[in-house]
Amino acid sequence: MALLIHRFRAPALACALLSGGAIAGPLSAQAVDVEPREARVPRVDASIEVDGVLDEPVWGQAVALDGFSRYLPVDGRPAEDDTEVLVWYSATAIHFGIRASEGHTEVRSTLADRDRIEGGDYVQLVLDPFDDQREAFVFGVNPLGVQADGILRDATRRAGSGFSAGGSEAYTVDDSPDFFFESRGIVTETGYQVEVRIPFESLRFPSGGEQRWAFNVIRKVQHSGSEDTWSPLLQARSSFLAQNGILTGFQGLERESTVELNPVLTARLDGGSSPDGWSYQRTGPEVGGNVQWAVTGDMTLSGTVNPDFSQVEADVAQVQFDPRAALFFPEKRPFFLEGIEQFAMPVPLIYSRRLVEPVGALKVTGKAGETSLGVFAGVDDRSVSASGSDRPRLAAVRLRRNVGSATVGLALTDRVAGDHVNRVASTDGRLVGGSYSATYQIAGSYSRTGDDHTVAPLWSLAAERSGRRFGVSWSMLGVHPDFRADAGFVRQADLVNMSLTPRVSVFGPAGAAVESWTGSVALSGRWDYGRFLDGEIPNDPKLHLNSAFSFRGGWRVGTSVLIESFLYPPELYTDYLIERRTAMGVDTVAFTGTERLGNLDFLVSVATPKFQSFWGDARIIVGRDENFYEWASAHVLFLTVNLNFRPTNQLRIEGTYNHQQYIRPGDGSTVGMRRIPGLRVEYQLSRSVFVRFVGQYVGDLQDALRDDSRTGDPILVLDRSTGLYVRSERWTRNDLRVDWLFSYRPTPGTVVFLGYGSSLQEPDFGRFRQVERVSDGFFVKLSYLLRR
């Protein structure tokens, strides 16, 4: 033990004790060459059948990429499983042949819908034709050739947290975009192999001349929980994409000017109660669609009429911990998803869902030299306007340009709804160098309603050092009370948030039970904007002590101790009074609340490996926390559970449960509770056909409110319909939503959706007695992609 103390100091000692002494010493010197790799890709004017067999003679002429190394959870070591990727290109496409050996266990793979391959083994091809080190195309395939695709965005490896049951990754993949490519795979005696053909018309790349494309391959090996890459990656570097390898030899590439037409036909029957019983009202059939014109190899013009949400499912219910912060819901409409990466920025001041029911929209995305461009404009339906007669209009422009190792950006938005105008201008940037990175964003909003107008700022700053053993991150966000972004998403105004998070990581030797441990201390504070400018202490100071373990085989465990303090927020309780009994009778007094509440919570999170037929994760928080219902301290229980089952090659079952409960310390009564169990079942008939059932149950309970932190007297709440204050009463609401969907999607853009959804209610949670149907509906969507 003395040896362990000497070699590891305190953080590593904790790790060694928890692993039963499996970590025996500091990491040895890097076992692989960490310089970015380069390969010349041959051009072969041939066409082949994409069948996953790799038996055509042309594969003998391809360049072979091998010698993979590990990236996560421990970098700088040779991969335990051999991977070889063959690459060649023709006049119309780039071809990849993947051979992945698996000598430890059986290959983990099932049939799946597009973008749903994360449960098994898979390989991701990362293509950055412009080598701008900011974002890249990613094309993923599992051993059967099932596809996943999207945009990989560069990020900085942030400090590990117990909230995530492990460390964090230095990149994110947005799987919203869908690109056309071909892939087939087969499982072999020694592993699997996959054949991939990506047409050049599915990519953006520079025009003319010999080209150098940044490239990497990421292989996820589920039996060990590791990620292996072709070009070595180090966790100490602040940029993931800056460590990509290079593919050279591309000559004579031209992306033809193509036009895609995507007509869409939708129709629905919406059911509800009426004086004559249950009746249905038909909407449609409605005709809409998208058109896209690839003007050049790196610029696209597109338009839409009547864009739809493409599925019958509603947004997933979320648990809200702080009622001051808005909830974010992702974009789902295909038109707005294409090129969505061009509009990304630190604070999303361009948020396409601000077009609620657009009747039409136009968009331009692409690159002009070193400058990325995104422009879109749309007109909303009159039904979403405040007056019911205006057509709200929204327009946004986003520019980004690479300047050496830095990126600078500009965004402009304009939204007009009746006599209300909102305009926002923003500039942002990111600088990356070695282990360090920094980002900034400065914005201003102009809002006018009639003769009244306001001008207000928003600013965001962040800096990171992403060292392998030691890292630190600092961030600061300020939003003026009058700042408005009607075309964007700002979670909360009138605040300043500041955080500082140092971390330390320890890595075990090869074969250790504990592969890595990361400890971090998160110091943060939230101020009202004016309070920060006045130099006062934070409204809500927080200290989080986090610890995250990664175990061999893919197990992850995280723990946190959360020490917090919250200042009374009077803006939430303007509709509250207290009913007080005196010797003279009943009187009402203003609700003022306890000045400050102190919290102490404990968190544990666990994530299992992704076994062949099962994996899951869970997080529990218990302790003493703020009760926003009554502004009093409460014992809390927050539980999140996600379970995934793959009992057969075609059946997928996902179960979720979210629980949020506040318990009064005095008498043990529950003041508020939200329970959200969910079930998703998919049966994959083939790669392009599946049947899905989604059920979501939302149970809400709120007790009659009282001044629990002080007098215990009843709370009166303003009834806005009558203008009177009334006693809050105990209430419950239990909503059940079920959705069925048949999907046929042979290629992106060509789909047949047949769906049925029903909303139901019942008086008692989970009893399924006296269940009453509230509404239902049948949904049909037909879409076909024409490319010329």
Each residue's pLDDT tens digit, 258-274: 888 999 999 999 999 88
pLDDT tens-digit profile of 337-372? Answer: 888 888 999 999 999 999 988 999 999 998 887 889
Place 27 in a pLDDT band, splitting at 50, 70 and 90: very low
Residues 587-593, mean pLDDT to the nearest whole number: 88
pLDDT tens-digit profile of 428-486? Answer: 999 988 889 999 999 999 999 988 999 999 999 999 998 889 999 999 999 999 999 99
Map out the domains of the chain with their CATH numbers: 31-250 (2.60.40.1190)
Place 26 in a pLDDT band, splitting at 50, 70 and 90: very low
Position 783 scores a pLDDT of 92
Q: Is 8 helix (H, G, I), strand (E, B) or coil?
A: helix
Question: Is the pLDDT at 707 greater than 70, yes or no?
Answer: yes
How many angstroms separate the Cα of 267 from the Cα of each of 264, 745, 747, 780? 10, 18, 22, 5
Question: Is the pLDDT at 138 greater than 80, yes or no?
Answer: yes
Task: Determine the Cα–Cα distance for residues 398 and 406; give it in Å rounded to an integer.
Answer: 17
Position 403 scores a pLDDT of 87
Mean pLDDT over each residue of the chain, to the nearest integer: 88
- Cα dihedral: 33, 37, 40, 41 (round 10): 110
Residues 127-151, mean pLDDT to the nearest whole number: 91
Question: Is the pLDDT at 16 greater than 80, yes or no?
Answer: no
Place 6 in a pLDDT band, splitting at 50, 70 and 90: very low
Position 534 scores a pLDDT of 96
Residues 6-14, mean pLDDT to the nearest whole number: 37
Question: Is the pLDDT at 712 greater than 80, yes or no?
Answer: yes
Q: Record the pTM.
A: 0.86
Q: Is 5 helix (H, G, I), strand (E, B) or coil?
A: helix
Question: Is the pLDDT at 156 greater than 70, yes or no?
Answer: no
Place 78 in a pLDDT band, splitting at 50, 70 and 90: very high
Task: Determine the Cα–Cα distance for residues 618 and 656; give it in Å rounded to an integer.
Answer: 10
pLDDT tens-digit profile of 727-736? Answer: 999 999 999 9
Task: Determine the Cα–Cα distance for residues 592 and 596; give it in Å rounded to an integer.
Answer: 11
Position 170 scores a pLDDT of 63
Q: Read out DSSP for 506-562?
A: EEPPTT-SEEEEEEEEEEEEEE-HHHHHTTPPPSEEEEEEEEEEEETTS-EEEEEEE
Question: Is the pLDDT at 22 greater than 50, yes or no?
Answer: no
Position 275 scores a pLDDT of 86
pLDDT tens-digit profile of 518-558? Answer: 999 999 999 999 999 999 999 999 999 999 999 988 899 99
Position 183 scores a pLDDT of 96
Position 32 scores a pLDDT of 64
Residues 113-140, mean pLDDT to the nearest whole number: 90
Position 163 scores a pLDDT of 55
